[in-house]
């Protein structure tokens, strides 16, 4: 399974590296400790060899023995793991410690140089392995010189026990160190990825209209990414500007023919061709509505403004304009907008949303239209209501479905609601249609405050 989280990937890699490094370090420490123990034990074995050589006694037959006992009591304990042995090369006779009991040290059948200490690993009593130090020396027995092989051996199980105890202590210490390093690695990764979080917040701010470009004050490793994103935003802005310009040119190109069609319709109506005139006027009006909708779509863009638009003056201006129309002159308007209310939106977008909703309400109202605006947390809630016939609940759902052409509503919702839906969708919001307590339609939406 592919890991999607970069932080988790880095953490897994760091954890594996830390554990591997500490495992290698632990193994190395145990080896070093074992070598140190062997050197220390070897030094003790050499001391025993010197003590044995210094206490050598010979009888009249030249048989070797020790003058007293060595200090370590293990030499006197049977199979204690610590042994000494004196071998006569001439007679093949043995003198050994009590700890060997009825066995002997099986030294290699070589002839090491005189006076040089040789180290061997040999088999010991009861299937043990012995670390053995051996030394060949010449002694004067009174009846002539004699070459003896002195050997001292210790059970390797003692070394293994020390190594195991040390390994256990090291393992606990390394586990604690691993936990500390992993925690430090997690903190380091979070600090290292913080610029990426800043870029994410910057992109969110661009989408939310708080800024229009990413901050270039970032680490050198991330600076090329920020520059590319800003360059992409520049290209997008130019492309969107060209698209808006082309849409505007197209709309202006249609404006004159549509005006001419409406003038022709008026002349036909004056000549008594009312049906034909109404059909031409209706077609021209629909075409004009489509053009206005596409102009709105070409204008809306990513919110790139940090200034808040005051709602009150916008609503008052729209109501004043509607009152001068034949339909609005007979309507009573209720302006219920909280004082000082402001939204983070383009002024033209707010005019499109409220203007189309108020115009639609005036078109269907009997005598009363109400517009409300109030803060709800970080959002501003708007309601535009009328006392007209409204829309049945089953049909309201169809009007607000995603992908549904709002202008196809048989109840005359018109392109106004389509434009409102387009603009709100750009701000990440939806238009909600419900029944008003005035009796007609209630259109509600929210914008960031």
Confidence of residue 24 (pLDDT cuts 50, 70, 90): very high
CA atoms of 254 and 37, how far apart (whole Å): 98
Angle between helix 274-299 and 223-270 (nearest 10): 170
Distances (CA, A) of 353 to 207, 280, 385, 447: 20, 28, 14, 11
What are the extents of the domains in the chain? 57-155, 306-448
Instruction: Name which of 375, 358, 359, 353 is nearest 429 in CA terms.
Output: 353
Q: How far apart are CA 46 and CA 40, in angstroms?
A: 10
Q: pLDDT band for 357, please (50, 70, 90 cuts).
A: very high
Distances (CA, A) of 61 to 64, 65, 142, 146: 9, 12, 10, 12
What residues contact 16, with CB distance under 8 A and at least 6 apart?
none
The CATH architecture assigned to 57-155 reads 2-Layer Sandwich (3.30)
pTM, rounded to two decimals: 0.53
More confident of the two residues 97 and 283: 97
Residue of 67, 105, 110, 73 whose CA lies nearest to 86: 105
- Phi, psi for residue 97 in degrees, rounded to 5: -75, 155
Higher pLDDT, 84 or 416: 84
pLDDT digits (tens, 9 = 90+) for 144-169: 788 899 999 999 998 889 899 999 99
Query: How large is the average pLDDT for residues 314-342?
Result: 89
Contacts of 172 (CB under 8 A, 6+ apart): none
C-alpha span between 83 and 123 (Å, rounded): 12
What pLDDT score does 303 carry? 46
How far is Cα 445 from Cα 373, in angstroms, rounded to an integer?
A: 10
Q: Give the integer Cα–Cα distance in Å for 377 and 213.
A: 27
Which has the higher per-residue pLDDT, 294 or 142?
Answer: 142
Q: What is the model's pLDDT at position 298?
A: 61
Average pLDDT of the chain is: 84
Question: Using CA atoms, how far apart are residues 138 and 316, in angstroms rounded to an integer?
Answer: 123
Which is higher by pLDDT, 344 or 407? 344
Reported as a single tens digit per residue, the pLDDT across 91-108 is 778 888 999 988 999 888
For 150, counting Cβ atoms within 10 Å of its Cβ (0-12 exposed, 13-18 middle, 19+ buried), the class is buried
- Is domain 306-448 classified as CATH 3.30.565.10? yes
Q: Tokens at residue 157, please?
A: 């199980």
pLDDT higher than threshold 80 for residue 2: no
Check whether 222 has a pLDDT greater than 80: yes
């Amino acid at each position: 399974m592919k890991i999607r989280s970069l932080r988790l990937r880095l953490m897994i890699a760091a954890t594996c590296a830390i554990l591997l490094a500490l495992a290698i370090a632990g193994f190395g420490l145990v080896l070093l400790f074992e070598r140190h123990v062997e050197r220390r034990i070897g030094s003790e074995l050499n001391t025993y060899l010197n003590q044995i050589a210094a206490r050598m006694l010979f009888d009249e037959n030249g048989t070797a023995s020790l003058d007293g006992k060595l200090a370590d009591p293990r030499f006197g304990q049977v199979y204690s793991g610590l042994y000494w042995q004196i071998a006569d090369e001439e007679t093949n006779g043995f003198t050994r410690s009590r700890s060997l009991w009825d066995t002997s040290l099986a030294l290699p059948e070589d002839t090491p140089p005189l006076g040089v200490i040789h180290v061997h690993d040999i088999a010991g009593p009861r299937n043990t392995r012995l670390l053995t130090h051996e030394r060949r020396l010449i002694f004067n027995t009174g009846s002539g010189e004699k070459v003896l092989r002195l050997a001292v051996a210790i059970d390797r199980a003692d070394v293994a026990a020390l190594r195991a105890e040390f390994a256990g202590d090291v393992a606990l210490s390394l586990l604690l160190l691993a936990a500390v390093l992993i925690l430090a690695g997690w903190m380091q990764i979070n600090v290292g990825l913080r610029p990426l979080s800043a870029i994410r917040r910057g992109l969110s701010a661009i989408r939310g209209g708080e800024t229009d470009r990413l901050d270039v004050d970032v680490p050198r490793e991330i600076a090329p990414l920020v520059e590319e994103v800003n360059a992409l935003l520049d290209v997008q802005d130019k492309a969107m500007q060209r698209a808006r310009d082309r849409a505007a040119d197209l709309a202006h190109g249609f404006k004159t023919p549509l005006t001419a069609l409406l003038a022709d319709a008026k002349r036909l109506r004056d000549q008594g061709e009312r049906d034909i005139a109404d059909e031409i006027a209706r077609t021209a009006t629909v075409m004009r509505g489509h053009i206005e909708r596409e102009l709105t779509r070409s204008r809306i863009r990513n919110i790139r403004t940090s200034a808040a638009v005051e709602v009150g003056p916008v609503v008052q201006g729209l109501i004043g304009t509607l009152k001068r129309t034949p339909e609005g002159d007979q309507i009573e308007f209720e302006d219920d907008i909280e004082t000082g209310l402001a939204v983070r939106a383009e002024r033209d977008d707010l005019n499109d949303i409220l203007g189309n909703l108020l115009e639609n309400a005036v078109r269907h109202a009997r005598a009363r239209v109400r517009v409300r605006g109030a803060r709800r947390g970080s959002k501003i809630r708007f309601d535009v209501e009328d006392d007209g016939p409204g829309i049945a609940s089953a049909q309201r759902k169809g009007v607000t479905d995603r992908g549904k052409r709002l202008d196809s509503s048989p109840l005359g919702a018109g392109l106004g609601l389509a434009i409102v839906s387009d603009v709100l969708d750009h701000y990440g919001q939806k238009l909600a249609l419900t029944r008003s307590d005035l009796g007609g339609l209630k259109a509600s939406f929210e914008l960031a405050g």
